[in-house]
Structure formats: structure tokens, C-alpha cells
Amino acid sequence: MTKIFNPLTTCVLFVCCLFSSLATAQKSKTIDNITKTHQINIAYRDAPPFSYKTANGKVVGYVIDLCNVIINDMSKRLSIPDLKVNYIDNKYLPERDALLREQKVDMICSVNANVVEWKSIADYSTPYTYSYTRFATLKDKKIARIEQLAGHTVTVTAGSVDSIALNQANRELGLNMLVISTPTMEKAFDLMQDGTASAAFINDISLKEIIEARNDEKSFSVSEKGVGKPQFFVILLPHDDNEFKTLVNQSLCKIRRSPDFAKLHNTWFNTPLPYLKLNLQTPFSKEMDHILSQSDNCNEINASSN
């Protein structure tokens, strides 16, 4: 009996230790750190209408508003009424990966899509909007289709989902385009505008904002056809932290399925942008709601939270 009992005891102890270590591993480091410090770190970059800093130093934007809803809910859920928000300027997109790997931020509230290429260093919230990668050209070049850019020099923001879509199209269509990677969308557009490149590949929401800001809309053309599939925009979260992700998604889905969601969209896409006075004139539509409803998992999240 002793010979039988000892191995069984060892096995039971091993299983208990295993479950104990799994429970510890699953505990949210992000929530634990927020609870200890009473602070949350939010990364953003200058990309209206999603996120930008105003002349008086205030960080605003569509995704910033969504993240503020999440932060307010988190403050209540964690009983931290004095929760402080630290904004970290992710000025150049390539720096984003280091912020995630080194766990310097709790959420990245800017322009980011849920592409598989980033899954090893980040997790994603449920989608809150979508767009397509399109390209802008000087109108007098009369370039309407991507096939007309074969052999041309083009620009795109380094590390962006637009870069992924462009490089894939370049390979699959055999266009042999020379791609210049830039640190910002504005720089990519500048190189197209000054003639260094024939086209700039940028998500259509940001592209519309950049063109409106130039006050010279008649000089540019934007491709009617998108490059690749729709890009679903998300809030980037720490990798492998399901507890924190659940809190974020519960808050995001709460506003996503409320009448306030359309109002929030229209504030940033269909009225003059705060402090910038630009109007993207893109009202929230039934088509947008339908596409988002097919892509998010809010029904499942809402059911689990009830």
C-alpha cells in the first residue's frame, strides 16, 4: 500500500501545484500594477481623429474618448477613484512594438488594426471601427488603379497595417514597386506631394483628414478601390492578459451597443474636429453598424458579463 500511496500522493501534489501555478499565471499583472500604483499608462500618437494632442497640451480623439469610458469603468470596478492617466507619446509608429514588448503601456489608444503579425506581442480589444488602405496621388498623374503603379516609387508608414496590405499586393500582383517606409503618415504623404513618390498608401480615414488639412483637395486623387481587406481598428492591450482584456471589452461593448456610440462617432467624423476645425463628413451608417456587428464579439461578451 505504501508503494502505491506514495506515487499517488506525488501525483496529486503535482496536479495541485500545476493548477496553482496556472492560476497565478492567469492573474492579471496589468490590473495588479494599476491597483498598486493607482495609475494607468496610455500610448497615443498624432493621428486625428483617432488621437492627437492639442496646442494647449490636451490629448483628445475618438479612441481617446473610448479609452476614457474604459478607464472610468475600470476606476469603479477596481475601487480606485483617484486613478491617474499617464499619456505616452508614441510619436513614431515603429516605436510601438518596443512599448508593448517592454510592457511600458497598458493600452495603446490610436490607429491600430487587429492583424496577425502583431499577435506575438499584443492582444486586441473588440473592433470599434474599420477602414481600407487606399492610395493618394497627384491628380495630374491620372493614376486610378494600383496596377498603374507598377515600377513606381510609393510610400507607406513603417510598421503600419497599410504597409502589410501594400507589400502583399506588391508581391501578389508582381508590380515591382519601390516602397519607401516613413515614420509618419504625414511624411508618406509629403513625399508623394513633392513628387519623390507617385503614391502614398494610408488608411482612408486618416488620408481624408490629411488631405483636408492641406486645404488643397483638388490637387489630389484617392483610389476608389481599397488595397486588401477591410482593416478593423482595435485598442492594443498587453499580451496574454485575459482578465484585463475582459474588463476592456466589457466597457467597450457597453458603449458599442448603446445609442451613444453613433453620437460619439459623429462627434469625430461628421462635425468639425475639436481644435482643428476639420470635418471628415462621414456619418455613422447602418452599413457601418452591420459590418461592425458581424466582426465584433459583443453579444458573447455581454452575455458572459450578465
- φ/ψ (deg, to 5) at 199: -155, 155
Q: What is the pLDDT of residue 277?
A: 81
Classified by CATH at the fold level, domain 29-128+234-305 comes out as: D-Maltodextrin-Binding Protein; domain 2 (3.40.190)
Q: What is the pLDDT of residue 50?
A: 95
* CB 265, CB 62: distance < 8 Å: yes
CATH superfamily of 132-230: Periplasmic binding protein-like II (3.40.190.10)
In angstroms, the CA 133 to CA 192 distance is: 16
Q: What is the pLDDT of residue 205?
A: 93
Residues with Cβ < 8 Å from 74, sequence gap 6 or more? Answer: 34, 40, 80, 83, 247, 251
Q: Measured at the alpha carbon of residue 52, what is the angle toward residues 46 and 54, in degrees to the nearest 5? A: 125
pTM of the full predicted structure? 0.82
Q: What is the pLDDT of residue 27?
A: 76
- Alpha helices in the chain, H assignment, sequence order: 2-26, 29-37, 62-77, 96-101, 161-173, 185-193, 204-214, 242-256, 260-269, 286-295, 298-305
One-letter amino acid for residue 222 of the chain: V
Q: What is the pLDDT of residue 303?
A: 62
Q: What is the pLDDT of residue 99?
A: 87
- Which residue, 221, 117, 99, 207, is CA-closest to 160? 117
Residue 213 is placed in which grid cell?
488639412
CATH 3.40.190.10: which residues of the chain? 29-128+234-305, 132-230
Q: Measured at the alpha carbon of residue 231, what is the angle toward residues 226 and 233, in degrees to the nearest 5? A: 145
What burial letters (b/e) apply to 136-170, b meaning 16+ CB within 10 Å? bbbeeeebeebebbeebbbbbbbbbbbbbbbeebb
Taking only the tens of pLDDT, the chain with its 306 residues reads 444 445 444 444 443 443 333 333 457 899 999 999 999 999 999 999 999 999 999 999 999 999 999 999 999 999 999 999 999 998 877 788 888 888 899 999 998 888 877 778 889 999 999 999 999 999 999 999 999 999 999 999 998 999 999 999 999 999 999 999 999 999 999 999 999 999 999 999 999 999 998 888 899 999 999 998 888 999 999 998 999 999 999 999 999 989 999 999 999 999 999 888 889 999 999 999 999 998 888 877 766 665
In angstroms, the CA 149 to CA 214 distance is: 24
CA dihedral 283, 287, 260, 60 (to 10 degrees): -50
3-state secondary structure of 242: helix
Q: What is the pLDDT of residue 103?
A: 84
CA 18: distance to chain centroid?
Answer: 35
Q: What is the pLDDT of residue 9?
A: 45
CA 101: distance to chain centroid?
Answer: 16
Q: What is the pLDDT of residue 13?
A: 44
Cis preceding-peptide flag for 49 (omega within 30 of 0): yes
